[in-house]
Amino acid sequence: APPAGEITVRADQATFRQQEGLGVYQGNAELRQGNRQINADRIELRLSDGAFSRAEATGSPVRLREGDILDARGQVLVYDVTSQTITLTGDAYIRHEGRTFEGARVVYDLGSRNVEASGDGEGQRVRLVIPAQDTRESTTTPEE
């Protein structure tokens, strides 16, 4: 498997705009990094100073998976390398370590592994579901 850091992107076709450091991948687009995988209709990759800095995926929906700890979807996904966050908007949904978050906007912090969900202030509120037997408690205090 490619080194954890390396990113592989595949698609039916792509357009490179060298001047802007932009690569737009379209048609069955897929981005992989270690065991993290994004599937979308379109993935736009931006390089700044020659280094990969941002990916924006759009789809119906965009799917994000990371092993079996994370499963997420939304209409738009932005992977920001600098802030090490993945933001999902548009009927966003994340199932992370058994808990599910739904809202207009859900942010997953790759460093802390925290999830933050927010509504859109108009109609879509946040919905958080914690399973009756929360996996985290069972792992921390098995004797109870």
Partner 1 sequence: MRRQGLLSATGLILLSLIVLMTLHEWEDRVPDFLTQREDTPLIIAEAVTARSFTIEGQLEYDLQAEKLTEMDLLGETLLEHPRLALHDTQRIWEVESQAGRVTDKGRHIRLTGAVAARHFGGQPMTLHTEELVYRSSQEQISAPGAVRITHPSGSTRAGAMEANLVTGELQLKNRVESHYDMPAS
Contacting residues toward partner 1, per CB under 8 A: 2, 5-21, 23, 25, 33, 45, 47, 50-53, 81, 84
Nearest to 41 by CA among 54, 23, 31, 28: 28
The Cβ of residue 24 has, within 10 Å, a number of other Cβ atoms equal to: 17
Whole-number minimum distance, CB 20 to partner 1, in Å? 7
The smaller minimum CB distance to partner 1, of residues 33 and 87, is found at 33
* CA 99 – CA 26 distance, rounded (Å): 32
The smaller minimum CB distance to partner 1, of residues 30 and 71, is found at 30
* CA 26 – CA 143 distance, rounded (Å): 51
The smaller minimum CB distance to partner 1, of residues 2 and 131, is found at 2
Please give the single-letter amino acid code of residue 73: R
Whole-number minimum distance, CB 81 to partner 1, in Å? 7
Q: Which two tokens stand for residue 57?
A: 């995926």
The smaller minimum CB distance to partner 1, of residues 78 and 117, is found at 78
Whole-number minimum distance, CB 8 to partner 1, in Å? 5
- CA distances 46 to 6, 56, 77, 80, 121, Å, are 15, 9, 14, 10, 30
Whole-number minimum distance, CB 100 to partner 1, in Å? 28
